[in-house]
Structure 1
């Protein structure tokens, strides 16, 4: 009571009419509590982190350029971003790459050979970074573009293999129904041996991956692709460490959960727990033409894998033949050194021709690997990517069927409650609310599935056209290369035939 009386007396006091003191002369504000200070600092950190992430996704501010600009290209203002703590990265992943002079203007010849594309990308300069198990290879990704969303016409960044894998995973997560080009497969043994041939093959495959993305009408406009190509190391490390590459794992878990849920609902249907509603279809099937396409893709993946395996064996055999011919040439030259006269000269000439021809065969094996084996491998991986998109469509269909079953079950429950005498109104209201929520989920799942169907209809046509054009060129180039190699080998050995036949005649006449 005494407290309330004091509060009433304070409210009755007249408000002072004098002019309030100047803000600069007023008394100091009350001292904030420790909890308020912690909350204020936490809000400030969250605002800074949100600004950094928004800048990384939208590229609202240009990356920090380390290399000097030409006079005609003024430098962008520096950007201060608070990067994610590297310790927050997964334990099994090495820390982010060290700072590089990552974004710089390029000379005119940096992306030559790419024609007049709107977005041309070259992956070059593989460099080993680090030692031991933490070692990796970095690549310079040079871009030349005329697309308006990019801030510069020519620029480059430094990326490593896991950054390319991150980009592919992000594109798969954010572009349902689109066939994402493949990145090369991981090869732990070859990676840690740092074999030059392996590094060159991976570099070429990564360049093909980026240019396939740049040629795609939808992926070309992707903000994730632009972030990969433009962002400096600070922005890129903050985005890559934010956990954005975990979509594949989440999809597997989601797929498993949906399968178990579908199994449980199938049991429920068998036990007649739910009452079907004719307004929502509970059993969904794919179009027969699409099912035939799925069977074709499965067969295509298998046959492309077989063709690539045999092509790799052919390249290996050609390399072994070149090595064997080089060893044969050396041994014949040494044999000629033990002979005198025309016979010794003939052995030496034969050995030199074999040694020279071994170089041509080794070069031919490299050409076959680059122009025949590598494209077959790429298309085998691309067909596997088509299978992944089809699996995602199956998951979308399963989600739609699950949503339809949920609508049926809640509709049946509502009908039973309405048919029961003296049912409390709140139960009926709750059942109606659940049914509305189930209908919203069903509509969203149907919209997602129909979107994937429309996207895949266009993507499969594009895939078939591109595959037919590329593989036809691959086969034509392969036959031309083989024919040319056969002519080179025939001419090389044929040039020796007249002289060796003449030597044989002379030796036969001398023996007589």
Structure 2
């Protein structure tokens, strides 16, 4: 029996979680603790899919079907999207999605990612591939919302079809995450985090119109980033051996009907405000309550996770700064190209005028390359880091859930001691009429203590397996995506060298 420890009152095991209201928000290559074959479940989380794009004539509009980095001259991997200029809002094809007069399809001039197959077991023949496409704005004004087409390809026997698609809005994704959290977080499962809500981004979408092209471009880029994040969320969930066969997850993927509105996900509702207060209370509890950890594994992992979180956030901030500076550099390069072109038209000397025109053309190509580089910075590297910051948050959540289970166990132990003392006082005073009731209460609290200890032991074991699975995949996935990002940067730099080398003879030929 554990030692008696004063603790806060008993927590509700079905406490509602709250989503963050902001949009913005260690040793990275730490080794796994044990081999994957020792894990209870054989299927790890799938890493964030990295998308490649062809770069013919310095554009990022076509995406290859497969990722290939066989040589430096092969097509460069591109970002999840590439807003090289103001994004269009032309109506696109939605296949089976009916479009009425109030439907505004938010298509972009960027590629759609091709997610890799998610292998759920050791057999490569079993797969579950999910893509999120065709974001569309439905309705106008503050009542508008964005719906997405969720396409699934699988050969798993638990699904009725092999290829199917449904339409889901953003709140449906959050509703699914809440259901999975309510079911499995208490058991020690790491629930892949859903994309964060953004009041600012949502408001921009609702208020965007044909007249405001700058706002349309901003809102469309936001939607594309959210679409890619939703796709990564579903594929991470599909890669989990337990979550992938959950009835709510299967219903989300294949139920060809509108799901019940997930009202609990609304940030501005009354329930949303209550969840915010609950979140504040949990945050205070995390700060004020310090568990006397007896398991060295958890003590070390907690320190490692905190350090990894700090490192990833710092790296993400640096990449974000790099992205902004690269975009600014691309803009300045384009402005320089236009100024040199004007200067070349007024130059009387034929050779010098031709050289200036060639320089302007070269700078225009360089501008496109630098915009592509900034997109790779953001979508290939930056979004991957954002994903892992969110995953670290999910691990912290399950660690805190274990602390709450410990608090409940200690609270039950404290109540058992009080009931035993009360029973002893009644026996000493000779009040046999209440002794039997006190004895019954002691038995009840003894059972609660035993259940509390069992629950604590079970969640501790499960967390170890989940974290070890995460570590095994994280190292390989991070290495793979970082390599692809560096290869894309190398190809961009090689292309820049070719442009300047082709211009050099023209510059030397100036009389």
TM class, shorter-length: 0.5 to 0.7
Distance 1:251 1:405, change over 3 A: farther
Structure 1 residue 249 displacement after superposition? 6.3
Matched, 1:485 2:492: yes
Give the corresponding residue for 1:227.
251
Picking from 457, 470, 488, the partner of 1:450 is 457
Picking from 339, 347, 350, the partner of 1:331 is 339
Give the corresponding residue for 1:317.
325
Matched, 1:237 2:260: yes
Rounded to whole Å, the distance in 2 between the matches of 1:337 and 1:143 is 55
Picking from 470, 475, 483, the partner of 2:477 is 470
Q: In 2, are the aligned partners of 1:102 and 1:232 still within 8 Å (CA)?
A: no
Map 1:490-505 onto structure 2 (within 5 A): 490-503=497-510
Map 1:192-271 onto structure 2 (within 5 A): 192-194=203-205, 195-234=219-258, 236-237=259-260, 240=262, 253=278
Map 1:337-356 onto structure 2 (within 5 A): 337-340=345-348, 341-356=350-365
Q: In 1, are the aligned partners of 2:423 and 2:435 still within 8 Å (CA)?
A: yes
Map 1:88-103 onto structure 2 (within 5 A): none
Q: In 1, are the aligned partners of 2:135 and 2:148 still within 8 Å (CA)?
A: yes
Give the corresponding residue for 1:189.
200
Matched, 1:426 2:449: no
C-alpha deviations, 1:162-195, integer Å up to 9, x for none? 1111111111110021111112222222233232
Task: State which structure, 1 or 2, has the greater radius of gyration over its C-alpha atoms.
Answer: 1
Distance 1:255 1:344, change over 3 A: closer
Give the corresponding residue for 1:438.
445
Give the corresponding residue for 1:133.
142
Give the corresponding residue for 2:167.
158
Rounded to whole Å, the distance in 2 between the matches of 1:102 and 1:437 is 56
The structure, 1 or 2, with the larger RCO (C-alpha pairs under 8 Å, 6+ apart) is 2
Task: Name the Cα RMSD after superposition.
Answer: 3.1
Distance 1:249 1:443, change over 3 A: farther
Picking from 290, 299, 302, the partner of 2:298 is 290
Give the corresponding residue for 1:379.
388
Q: When the two structures are superposed, what TM-score results if normalisation uses the length of structure 1?
A: 0.67
Picking from 305, 325, 330, the partner of 2:313 is 305
Distance 1:251 1:500, change over 3 A: closer
Structure with the higher helix share, 1 or 2: 1
Number of residue-to-residue matches in the alignment: 375
Q: Where does the alignment leave 5 or more consecutive residues of structure 1 unmatched?
A: 1-99, 104-109, 267-282, 507-512
Structure 1 residue 112 displacement after superposition? 7.2
Rounded to whole Å, the distance in 2 between the matches of 1:224 and 1:317 is 43
Distance 1:302 1:197, change over 3 A: same
Q: Where does the alignment leave 5 or more consecutive residues of structure 2 unmatched?
A: 1-94, 99-111, 118-124, 206-218
Give the corresponding residue for 1:390.
399
Rounded to whole Å, the distance in 2 between the matches of 1:258 and 1:142 is 37
Q: In 1, are the aligned partners of 2:175 and 2:265 still within 8 Å (CA)?
A: no
Rounded to whole Å, the distance in 1 between the matches of 2:324 and 2:276 is 38
Distance 1:247 1:407, change over 3 A: farther
Give the corresponding residue for 2:72.
none
Rounded to whole Å, the distance in 2 between the matches of 1:415 and 1:444 is 24
Rounded to whole Å, the distance in 1 between the matches of 2:362 and 2:239 is 46
Rounded to whole Å, the distance in 2 between the matches of 1:117 and 1:360 is 39
Structure 1 residue 117 displacement after superposition? 4.9
Instruction: Give the secondary-structure state (helix, strand or coil) at the position aligned to 1:495.
Output: helix
Q: In 1, are the aligned partners of 2:138 and 2:145 still within 8 Å (CA)?
A: yes
Structure 1 residue 243 displacement after superposition? 9.6
Distance 1:305 1:148, change over 3 A: same
Structure 1 residue 259 displacement after superposition? 9.2
Rounded to whole Å, the distance in 2 between the matches of 1:365 and 1:432 is 71
Rounded to whole Å, the distance in 2 between the matches of 1:188 and 1:141 is 23
Q: In 1, are the aligned partners of 2:115 and 2:130 still within 8 Å (CA)?
A: no
Q: In 2, are the aligned partners of 1:284 and 1:401 still within 8 Å (CA)?
A: no
Structure 1 residue 416 displacement after superposition? 2.3
Instruction: Give the secondary-structure state (helix, strand or coil) at the position aligned to 1:150.
Output: coil
Give the corresponding residue for 1:8.
none
Rounded to whole Å, the distance in 1 between the matches of 2:353 and 2:485 is 39
Rounded to whole Å, the distance in 1 between the matches of 2:132 and 2:126 is 16
C-alpha deviations, 1:441-499, integer Å up to 9, x for none? 22222222222111101011011112111211222122222222222222212222233
Rounded to whole Å, the distance in 2 between the matches of 1:181 and 1:397 is 23
Q: In 2, are the aligned partners of 1:111 and 1:142 still within 8 Å (CA)?
A: no
Distance 1:200 1:426, change over 3 A: same
Q: When the two structures are superposed, what TM-score results if normalisation uses the length of structure 2?
A: 0.68
